């Protein structure tokens, strides 16, 4: 392989108006208020990873405020100690699944006027309490971002008992949330029709498909990836990471948006350097099905490179002395999306950021397990503020549910609390350290590209 020694011929600079500024600014805090789906939080972990790679200069603080089993009333009760304590600039709000009580939609339940009245009352309570939550958010100077409820899957042909009618109730909840967003002139991430549309499309091919989980309620990796896409596409119009077009014959850079490019070539090899403003959005293989469900890569994850005026033949693409692909001149003229080539150094760097966000998510999971017990099981606790007395109280509380379906989950939740509550301060410190690491390792660097003719 010949070493290119030609002098750089031309430098182009960043396109100043190519990308809309980030929705969240440097130093701001964003909270996610919700139930178990938010406590799980993979959707906002993905959003955090997207933000860290797309807007590397903006050190945004993402905080989970989700608690399993919560409804709007419970969120009001813990709002001051669990949300305001973080002094957020923005708050995402999603509730509904637990507000529409499951027992009102139990399989085989008799549907009569009494039941219909109870369902109407549940919806009225939901409307009243979400109105109150919205007022609490706004009155505290926090900008709301409303999310309609994720769906209850009552169409998938799976073994889980089906609470027919529950999703119809959630559709009514979604209509109210849209109106609430309009009232407060705030964005609304409309999950409900979006997820229903995916289900309809995919269930036409496979009746057992569900965008949520096997329990018809809780999204898994695929569902959370789709949710993250819906948030991103609500807050931003489609845009690429960068776009570079080089004409080898004319020895010029035709286009360079959201990056800086320098270029040179000789008869055999073509070399250029790109310093991008952002990194690609990279996830691990757990989310490969999610990538097929939504067009996130097509709309938001494009590192576009076009080489025009190039001699016919095949070329190896080398980045920083590492060959990452072999491409035809025809393909190079048409253009390639480097974000889809996993071996590029920028993709490897971005995957590292994703892994750090996963670690951040894991720490938040421990902190939310603590919050779950503090704000729910210990809500009525009046004893001394020490673990010995709290454990006695919690053990007795759990023992009362022995023989009930939720007994074992109560045992597990409390055992998690006993393990991690003594480490709470250290966990918050670890979270801050990880955030610092994410925003120190997400800075794009300049890479050297070389195309070497092979035939």
CB neighbours of 238 closer than 8 A, spacing ≥ 6?
299, 300
**253 by DSSP, 3-state: which?**
strand
Residue recorded with tokens 């002098």: 7
> In this predicted model, what pLDDT tens digit does every residue of 357-389 receive, in sequence order?
999 999 999 999 999 999 999 999 999 999 999
Domains of the chain: 10-17+240-350+443-453 (2.60.40), 29-235 (3.40.50.1110), 358-440 (no CATH)
> In this predicted model, what pLDDT tens digit does every residue of 317-366 receive, in sequence order?
999 989 999 999 999 999 999 999 999 999 999 999 999 999 999 999 99
- Consecutive H or E run containing 126: helix 113-139
Return the beta strands (E) in 94-155 as ranges. Answer: 143-147
Rounded CA-CA distance 224/214 in Å is 14
Q: Are 249 and 311 in contact (CB under 8 A)?
A: no
For the record, the structure tokens of 136 come out as 């609490």
Residue 134, pLDDT score: 98
Q: What are phi and psi of 89, to 5 degrees?
A: -90, -30
Residue 119 has pLDDT above 80, yes or no: yes
> In this predicted model, what pLDDT tens digit does every residue of 242-276 receive, in sequence order?
999 999 988 899 999 999 999 876 656 789 999 99
Residue 14, pLDDT score: 35
Residue 405, pLDDT score: 86
Rounded CA-CA distance 63/47 in Å is 12
Burial 258-290 (b: 16+ CB within 10 A, else e): bbbbbbbbeeebbbbbbebbbbbbbbeeebeeb
Residue 55, pLDDT score: 96
Cα distances (angstroms) measured from residue 382 to each of 78, 378, 379: 17, 9, 9
Rounded CA-CA distance 448/272 in Å is 6
Q: How far is CA 106 from the centre of its chain?
A: 32
- What residues pair up with 307 in beta bridges, in sequence order? 246
pTM for the model stands at 0.94
- How long, in residues, is the chain? 455
Which of 402, 278, 267, 394 has its CA nearest to residue 346? 278
Rounded CA-CA distance 255/446 in Å is 17
Residue 20, pLDDT score: 60
DSSP 8-state assignment for residue 98: T
Rounded CA-CA distance 438/281 in Å is 14
Percent of the chain with pLDDT over 70: 95
How many alpha carbons fall within 13 Å on the CB side of residue 377?
A: 27
Residue recorded with tokens 């253009």: 335
């Amino acid at each position: 392989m010949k070493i290119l020694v030609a002098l750089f011929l031309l430098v182009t600079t960043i396109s100043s108006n190519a990308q809309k500024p980030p929705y969240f600014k440097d130093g701001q805090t964003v909270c996610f208020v919700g139930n178990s789906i938010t406590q799980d939080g993979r959707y906002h972990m993905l959003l955090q990873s997207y933000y860290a790679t797309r807007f590397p200069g903006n050190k945004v603080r993402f905080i989970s405020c989700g608690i399993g089993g919560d409804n709007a009333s419970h969120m009001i009760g813990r709002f001051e100690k669990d949300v305001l304590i973080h002094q957020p600039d923005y708050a995402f709000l999603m509730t509904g699944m637990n507000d529409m009580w499951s027992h009102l939609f139990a399989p085989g339940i008799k549907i009569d006027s009494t039941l219909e009245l109870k369902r109407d009352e549940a919806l009225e309570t939901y409307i009243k309490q979400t109105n109150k939550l919205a007022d609490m958010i706004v009155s505290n100077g926090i900008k709301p971002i409303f999310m309609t409820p994720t769906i209850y899957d009552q169409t998938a042909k799976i073994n889980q008992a089906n609470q027919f009618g529950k999703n119809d109730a959630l559709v009514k909840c979604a209509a109210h949330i849209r109106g609430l967003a309009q009232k407060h002139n705030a964005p609304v991430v409309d999950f409900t029709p979006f997820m229903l549309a995916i289900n309809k499309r995919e269930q036409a091919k496979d009746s057992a498909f569900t965008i949520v989980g096997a329990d018809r309620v809780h999204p898994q990796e695929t569902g959370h990836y789709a949710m993250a896409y819906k948030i991103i596409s609500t807050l931003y119009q489609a845009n690429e990471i960068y776009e570079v077009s080089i004409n080898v014959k004319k020895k010029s850079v035709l286009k360079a948006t959201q990056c800086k490019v320098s270029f040179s070539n000789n008869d055999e090899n073509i070399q250029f350097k790109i310093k991008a403003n952002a990194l690609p959005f990279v996830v691990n293989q757990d989310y490969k099905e999610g990538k097929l469900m939504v067009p996130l890569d097509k709309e938001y994850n494009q590192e576009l490179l076009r080489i025009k005026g190039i001699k016919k033949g095949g070329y190896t693409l080398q980045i920083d002395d590492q060959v990452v692909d072999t491409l035809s001149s025809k393909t190079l003229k048409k253009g390639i999306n480097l974000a889809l080539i996993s071996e590029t150094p920028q993709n490897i760097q971005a995957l590292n950021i994703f892994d750090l966000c996963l670690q951040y998510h894991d720490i938040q999971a421990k902190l939310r397990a603590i919050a779950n017990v503090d704000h729910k099981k210990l809500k009525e606790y009046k004893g001394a503020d020490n673990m010995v007395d709290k454990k006695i109280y919690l053990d007795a509380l759990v023992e009362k549910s022995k023989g009930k379906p939720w007994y074992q989950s109560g045992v597990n939740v409390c055992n998690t609390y006993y393990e991690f509550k003594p480490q709470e301060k250290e966990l918050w410190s670890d979270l801050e350290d990880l955030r610092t690491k994410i925003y120190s390792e997400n800075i794009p660097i300049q890479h050297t590209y070389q195309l070497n003719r092979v035939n």
